[in-house]
Amino acid sequence: MAATSGGPWLDGDAGRLIRPYTVSGGRTRPTVSFDLLTLVRATGSRPHSQLGPDHAQVLGLCGRPTSVAEIAAHIRQPAVVTKVLLSDLLDCGAVATREPTLLGPDSPDLALLEAVLHGLRARL
Quick one: pLDDT at residue 16? 52
Comparison of pLDDT for 19 and 39, the residue scoring more: 39
Side-by-side strand order, sheet with 95-98:
66-67, 39-42, 95-98
Residues 6+ apart with CB under 8 A from 69: 36, 37, 79
Pairing label, strands 95-98, 39-42: antiparallel
Whole-number Å distance between alpha carbons of 69 and 122: 26
Q: Is the pLDDT at 111 greater than 60, yes or no?
A: yes
8-state DSSP, 37: T
Model confidence over 54-75: pLDDT tens digits?
899 999 999 999 999 999 999 9
* CATH placement of domain 10-123: 1.10.10.10
Largest CA distance in the chain: 55
**39-69: burial string, b at 16+ Cβ within 10 Å, e else:** bbebeeeebeeebeebbeebbebbeeebbbe
Quick one: pLDDT at residue 73? 94
93: left (phi > 0), else alpha (psi -120 to 50), else beta?
left
- The residues spanned by each domain of the chain are 10-123
Pairing label, strands 66-67, 95-98: unpaired
